[in-house]
Amino acid sequence: MRLPPVPWSEVERRARTVPGGPVARVGGTDDLTVRGLVTDSRLVVPGALFACVRGATSDGHRHASAAAAAGAAGLLVDRPVASTLPQLQVPSVRAQLGPLGALLAGDPAAALRLAGITGSNGKTTTSALLRGVLDAGGDCTGVVGTLGAEVGGRSRTTALTTPEAPELHQLLRWMLDAGARRAVVEASSIALDMGRMDGLRFEVSVFTGFEEDHLDHHGTLEQYWASKARLFEAGRTGAAVVVVDEPWGRRLADQAQVPVTRVGSGADADVRVLGWRTGSSGTELLIGDDTGGHRVRSPLVGRVHVGNLAAAWATGRVLGVPPDRIAAGLAAVAPPRGRNTVLGGSGRPRVVVDYAHTPRALAAAIATAQDLSGPGGRVHLVLGARGRRDRYKRQGLGEAARAADGVWLTNEGSHGEDPAAIRAELRVGLLGSAAGVRTVPDRRAAITAAVRAAGPADVVLVVGRGHETRLLDTTDPRDAVHLDDAEVAAEALDEAHPQPGDRLRERAS
């Protein structure tokens, strides 16, 4: 994708629209043009504008010379640097990334109808469901989130749930060029806090729920809440869809300064879940709204998806999609990778691979596993915790794990932290539990052992990594190794619990 050239004078003009203080241009004639905004000097291409972002561990100003050597046409700085390149000096480089990223991508968001989705859990699934609804409604829709970016039959990988603003606007440009009329964007709290969503205006924003998470970044629960709530400011979105089955959702619905559609099981909900059931074949809901009652079927497995399905239904209605098209869209969406992915069954143990990485999400995943188990079946939980992230919630994960019948404590990627110390903190939450607890540090071995120990009526629940395929135990990303939980589980099932047809083939050979 080749971005259009933008005159230096236009870059300066857009920069001056960002509040915060004076903007000074140093060098660069009005006929100078730049193509694209880049925050990593290693990714600079000739003609790019290099943004010298100050980070937690690095300062982009120190890499200005590398950017110049790679062919950058200009620099975006918040202090002068020794360089022959034209510079635009601003009070905060980060505050400019959204507005300038939009400009240098050709302002694609202005031509797209956008929906944003945030919440501690359920963002990825709800984004996939909403995309399915909008596609069924006749609008080609792109999605950006934890699993990457997709539009039509094309996909791109992304390093973050919500990419840095320049990359995000470039992805929207890519979607627009591919024929998209709408886009669904997952909005993480960190992205909202750091301004990655700046420069975007949403037609509707969706809130799936809230619990303690990411306090290693936000510091306090209220700061985390405030970051989420930014998606629902009047200047950022035109409407809100809020799941109100817990206090944080009700608080948001009460405080939002835009029209709110409440979603839940209570009598005060605008879109109400009147009943539901879930099993290995999927989930069925009865939903009531101002047009009456509607039966919704989905291949997604687990009670955790009831709220996600209802939120996607409500958002489709807000966006004007007819009920029959919403139902068709929801029925057509396959489970996203690593979100209650179910393997096995048919006389073999079932294995559920899920991203559950917070205490409430883990509790819901265990409840789903219990729903899927047969008479007298047990739930075997493979549990770890990510190193150097949200250490405070490890005891809560251990407490939620008490509901399982057996727990296999293992590694989830220590990122340089002591793996034994991580497991010890999980074990604190398990104190007093009736569940049998085993420690198997090697994750592949832990998954394999849990599957081998499971009987035909049992369920093995593997949580924490979901769709992720690279496991890292050091601080150097180059040391990451391939490990896909679903792949390991499938191999273990085939080895320990072969299908009857497999045994016949073995005898024949």
**Which residues are documented as binding site?**
41, 161-162, 188, 196
**Cα separations in angstroms, 313 against 42, 150, 203, 239, 407:** 43, 21, 16, 15, 36
Q: Which two tokens stand for residue 331?
A: 């029925």
Rg of the chain over all Cα atoms, to the nearest angstrom: 24
How far apart (Å, rounded) are the C-alpha atoms in residues 36 and 46? 10
Task: Count CB neighbours of 334 within 10 A.
Answer: 10
Is 62 in a helix, a strand, or coil?
Answer: helix
| SS3 labels along 397-453 | HHHHHCCCCEEEECCCCCCCCCHHHHHHHHHHHHCCCCCEEEECCCHHHHHHHHHHH
Using alpha carbons, select from 491, 396, 380 the residue that is nearest to residue 436.
380
Q: Which amino acid is at 354?
A: D
Using alpha carbons, select from 164, 149, 250 the residue that is nearest to residue 207.
250
Residue 202, strand partner residues: 237
**Cα separations in angstroms, 252 against 92, 241, 412:** 30, 10, 33
With 0-12 / 13-18 / 19 or more C-beta atoms within 10 angstroms meaning exposed / middle / buried, residue 328 is middle
Is 237 in a helix, a strand, or coil?
Answer: strand
Q: Which amino acid is at 448?
A: T
* Intra-chain end-to-end CA distance of the chain, in Å: 52
